[in-house]
Amino acid sequence: MANPNSALSFLSFARTALNLQSAAIFLLIFVVVLKLFRRPKNLPPGPWQWPFLGNFVALTRSKKHAHEVLAEWARRYGSVMSVGLRPAGAPAIVVSDIGIAKELLSRQWEHHVERSWSPLTPKIADVRGSFVWDKGERAKEQRRFGLGAFRKMGVGKKSLEHRINEEARYLVESIEAEKNRPFDPNLPIHKAVSNIICSISFGSRFDYDDPKFKNLLDSMRVVFENEGISSWANTFSFLYHTPFLAKLRECVRFVKEYIETVVQDHQDSYDENDFRDIIDIHIADIKGKEQIGSRVATGPAPTITHQHIWRGIMDLFAAGTDTTSNTLLWLISFVLKYPEVQEKIQQEISEVVGSNRQPSCEDRPSMPYTNAVINEVQRLRPVGIMALPYETTEEFQLKGYTIPKGRKVFINLWAMMNDPKVWDRPEEFNPGRFLSEDGKTVIQHETFIPFSTGRRSCLGEGLAKTELFLFATNLFQRFTFMLPPGASKPELKGILHLTFVPEPFKVRAIKR
């Protein structure tokens, strides 16, 4: 017969063990909940955040775009606020004030903030050599090189203007071939704009019917769609190597292999006395640094090597294609909704340029209304609604708040260019806000920053401005854009990818 004392002892032991287990579980839950709910002392204010999910649910369930919701929250909680943008991530710092943004992104603050990556970026490709995503000394080296290379390739000079106007003639011919029929302007405009950066980067342009060219553009479109702040691929980036993102991986592979092949061809045929494009300039730059390093035993090795060239060229191809193309598409969308604006642009073109020659950059000072329209399109529908993300490298004080180390920092450019405290009725399309009272001068607004601000602002700003003016004036000189019969005016809501793009639309281009 069993000893009753032993049974009681076992029951007592089991009860104690269960109590300890329960206590351990309770303690674990308490620690997790405490960690999730506890806000670091003196963190910027912001909307209430769910445990683990942060503000992700509120952002995704809203009928508005993320940048619009963040702008509304900024008006409620302040121009420096703390927001949980992604599940399981620490709250990010969102800045919606131009003065604070300029201060934060100035060179004096570079030891506080550095470029960060979206979760998907390092999975897509190595960031070494990237003009956009690299950081530290390599980023500084790449930016210095990029600015110098653009100058050598004619950015800001007549030679580039001639190249853009030549491409504009190809674009006009492509549109003329539609013979007044409704067509989607997306692809021809992307091809034309892309050919400018291709000629600068690759040394040659593509024919519009080249299937490889179309594949390159389609592949980069897929990449941009998946790298957006609200994309599920970015939110759940751990799915990158699963079948769910097989198409994205294939597109990245195609672009990478194509550019690597072009770079290798350039290395095989390199001539130090004949620089064809930025790839050749990059090869020469690296070779020069290697030679210096070999002569000076203690000299530092170049941080960018030949194997990194393709990454920077991919950035130039992507950014140099997408942003200007979509700005032109937004411009056409706006004149479809406001046809009187197109009439005024065409009147100015007729008075300044006429019809017997192509527009020139020398015409820009004499065409304030056209420039004002382009500015207003960029203000109201900037393709870059956020500056690319940053990350804090140390704890510091900003406007009385404590910003912890390792926090993502987002600069909401859209909020700044649509701030009712700065812009009168910012939701209205009004080119006149960029014109002087007599309409003869373009007003420069401090808060108009479509190319971002600070030391990591858009590398190709000068190129983009030249392209926008010349492509736009060439198009409106030769065509009047009209809605197809029965089509309603564009709603101008936009689609948020890595950039902010207009919804697909069709148009008729009537030859003037």
Query: Quick one: which H or E segment has residue 481?
Result: strand 479-482
How wide is the angle at C-alpha 274 spanned by C-alphas 268 and 279, nearest 5°?
55
The annotated binding site for heme is made up of 458
Residue ranges of alpha helices (H) inside 299-355 are 309-337, 339-352
What pLDDT sits at residue 419? Answer: 95
- SS3 state of residue 83: strand
What pLDDT sits at residue 26? Answer: 53
Q: Does position 24 have pLDDT exceeding 60, yes or no?
A: no
1 confidence band (pLDDT: 50, 70, 90):
very low
Q: Residue 37 carries which side chain, given as an amino acid letter?
A: F
104 Cβ contact list (under 8 Å, min separation 6): 95, 112, 113, 390, 398, 409, 411, 454
> Please, what is the angle between helix 186-201 and helix 461-478, to 10°?
140
Cα–Cα distance for residue pair 431/445, rounded to 1 Å: 13
- SS3 state of residue 39: coil
* pLDDT tens string 247-256: 999 999 999 9
Q: Tokens 């550095």 — which residue?
A: 114
Ramachandran class of 136: left when φ > 0, alpha when ψ lies in -120 to 50, beta otherwise: left
What pLDDT sits at residue 2? Answer: 47
Q: How many CB atoms lie within 10 A of CB 23?
A: 10
Average pLDDT of span 211-238: 90
Of residues 131 and 291, which shows the higher confidence score? 131
What pLDDT sits at residue 110? Answer: 82
CB 195 within 8 Å of CB 320: no
What pLDDT sits at residue 455? Answer: 87
What pLDDT sits at residue 401? Answer: 95
Q: Characterize 370-401 residue by residue with b for buried, 16 or more Cβ atoms within 10 angstroms of its Cβ, and e for exposed.
A: bbbbbbbbbbbbbbbbbbbbbbbbeebebeeb
Query: In the numeric block, which tokens belong to residue 361?
Result: 């950059």
* pLDDT tens string 101-122: 999 998 888 889 999 988 888 8
267 confidence band (pLDDT: 50, 70, 90):
very high
**Around 86, how many Cα atoms within 13 Å sit in the side-chain half-sphere?**
20
Looking at every residue in the chain, the average pLDDT score rounds to 90
Do the strands 500-501 and 408-411 form a parallel or antiparallel pair, or are they unpaired? Answer: unpaired
Q: Does position 8 have pLDDT exceeding 70, yes or no?
A: no
* pLDDT tens string 467-501: 999 999 999 999 999 999 999 999 999 999 999 99
Which DSSP string corresponds to 379-390? HHS-S-SBPPPE
pTM of the model: 0.90
| Rounded alpha-carbon distances, angstroms, from residue 214 to 61, 185, 307, 425, 512 | 35, 14, 26, 40, 29
Q: Which residues pair with 410 in a beta bridge?
A: 94
Q: What percent of the chain has pLDDT over 70?
A: 90
* pLDDT tens string 283-322: 999 999 888 765 554 555 557 788 899 999 999 999 999 9
Question: Exposed, middle or buried by CB within 10 Å (0-12, 13-18, 19+), for 86?
Answer: buried
Cα–Cα distance for residue pair 328/376, rounded to 1 Å: 12
Q: Does position 339 have pLDDT exceeding 70, yes or no?
A: yes
Cα–Cα distance for residue pair 465/471, rounded to 1 Å: 10
What pLDDT sits at residue 305? Answer: 85
* CA Rg value for the chain: 27
Q: Which residues pair with 500 in a beta bridge?
A: 496
Q: Does position 155 have pLDDT exceeding 80, yes or no?
A: yes
CB 200 within 8 Å of CB 176: no
What pLDDT sits at residue 244? Answer: 93
273 Cβ contact list (under 8 Å, min separation 6): none
Q: Which residues pair with 495 in a beta bridge?
A: 501
Q: What percent of the chain has pLDDT over 90?
A: 76
Q: Does position 34 have pLDDT exceeding 50, yes or no?
A: no
Query: Quick one: which H or E segment has residue 95?
Result: strand 92-95
For the chain, the residue count is 512
Largest Cα separation within the chain, whole Å, is 116
* pLDDT tens string 193-219: 999 999 999 999 999 999 999 999 999
39 confidence band (pLDDT: 50, 70, 90):
low
Q: Tokens 């960060």 — which residue?
A: 116
The annotated binding site is made up of 458
What pLDDT sits at residue 232? Answer: 83
Q: Does position 146 have pLDDT exceeding 90, yes or no?
A: yes
Question: Exposed, middle or buried by CB within 10 Å (0-12, 13-18, 19+), for 294?
Answer: exposed
Q: Residue 285 carries which side chain, given as an amino acid letter?
A: D
